[in-house]
Amino acid sequence: MNILLTGGMGYIGSHVAIVLLEAGHHVVLYDNLCNSDAGVLARIAKITGKEPIFMEADVRATSTLTETLKNHAIEAVIHFAGLKAVGESTQKPLAYYANNVEGTISLLESMSEVGIRTLVFSGSATVYGEPQYLPLDEAHPTSATNPYGRTKLYIEEMLRDISLSDPSWRIVSLRYFNPAGAHESGLIGEKPTGAPNNLMPYMAQVATGELKELSVFGNDYPTPDGTGVRDYIHVMDLAEGHAAALSWLAGHFGWHAINLGTGEGYSVLDMIAAFAKASGRDIPYRIAPRRKGDVAACYADPGKALRELGWQARRRLHVMCEDVWRFQRRLPRP
Ligand code: NAD
Ligand code: UD1
């Protein structure tokens, strides 16, 4: 199959590219490099022995996108391109609406023009807002507490509307829980620009000594050890979930939401212990106040993905930590 990955040079897209190339698909990465670098291409080629096609452009450049879809006889699209920092989205909401919402409208217009009707979208468990019950299944009510989350919610609504307007669309929103980990080669992984916001990359930099200590945001949550509980999913499991979703769409029309998570929750203290063990390093930490907007616990009911896609996460927490550590050690130190 000829598959275009918007945002394919980024953290999740590059891992998905590896899985698709290894399965024999032709892959075009379409990315404006606003949060990635061209060096990813060579690393993907080193891992897979195949060089994906790369097009440096913005998803909002509708005519360029349309030409790319035509020129490469694209049959399906996976849409990763977007901005994803929650804090930044509260400072620059318009940049988030422009990039994420406008970018998706541009993509849907291009796909409509060329006649491509198969789309996998990078959704997020952030659309569940404050959990009303756990584990979170796809029927849980949706809401958003920040501009980033609202872009994910609005995009899902658009996708649902477009599938109702034309029943030949096949669309799945994969609602990711907390992607973490790296490819086992240590060649690609999550490389945040600037200070990391998320737990795993922050811990990794504390382990190397680049950052002094981790602030644990709150130890008074109603969880077993008082710290926040999340469903961390290995990025290669997540990547395999995309391949499974694409195959599944061949037999399904309409818009569908499917969780990609493990179903298991780990606390911040569990994560510190697991990372310290995997790295053999101390992770100094101190208890800090809660972070605004954080929820106590968030983990998936991954049953629908298993029933529908025949997919479930296979990699355990220690593998996730070991893979992040391998990747982190290979990075040039600033
Ligand atoms: P990332 O920033 O590493 O990758 C996104 C890629 O999209 C980058 O390479 C960036 O350069 C590109 N991009 C951004 N705007 C673009 C535009 N207008 N035109 C072309 N390219 C553009 O992020 P990621 O972690 O790989 O996330 C991928 C997707 O998954 C995003 O939509 C994100 O919101 C979603 N998601 C991520 C997480 C997570 O924890 N990483 C969780 C839930 C959902
Ligand atoms: C965050 C986003 C979420 C987004 C997801 C992408 C917020 C409020 N939520 O989720 O919308 O979809 O990233 O992966 O930003 N923690 C610490 N110290 C740190 C960093 C994190 O204690 O330095 C704790 C957090 O309080 C939380 C857990 O670690 O309990 C995970 O945090 P993080 O990795 O930022 O992910 P989420 O907050 O779940």
Interval between CA 35 and ligand 1 midpoint (Å): 8
Q: What is the per-residue pLDDT across 31-69, written as a single tens digit (0 to 9) for each? A: 999 999 999 999 999 999 998 999 999 999 999 999 999
Using CA atoms, how far apart are residues 45 and 18, in angstroms rounded to an integer? 9
Is residue 38 lining ligand 1, measured as CB closer than 6 Å?
no
Ligand 1 atom 9, closest CA: 10
Both tokens of 40, joined, read 């990813």
Q: Look at the pTM and tell me if it is higher than 0.85.
A: yes
How many residues are given for the chain? 334
8 A C-beta contact, residue 138 and residue 258: yes
Return the pLDDT at 334: 60
Check whether 333 has a pLDDT greater than 80: no
Interval between CA 81 and ligand 1 midpoint (Å): 5
Is residue 198 lining ligand 2, measured as CB closer than 6 Å?
yes
**Which ligand does the CA of 200 lie closest to?**
2
Interval between CA 82 and ligand 1 midpoint (Å): 5
Percent helix, strand, coil in the chain, to 5, is 40, 20, 40
Return the pLDDT at 195: 84
Q: Report which of 33, 158, 168 is spatially closest to residue 104, judged by C-alpha positions.
A: 158
Q: What is the per-residue pLDDT across 297-327, written as a single tens digit (0 to 9) for each? A: 999 999 999 999 999 999 999 999 999 999 9
In three-state secondary structure terms, 145 is coil
**Which ligand does the CA of 122 lie closest to?**
1
Annotated catalytic sites, by residue?
148
Ligand 2 atom 4, closest CA: 126
Using CA atoms, how far apart are residues 296 and 293, in angstroms rounded to an integer? 10
b/e string for 171-200 if b means 16 or more Cβ within 10 A? bbbbbbbbbbbbbeebbbbbbbeeebebbb
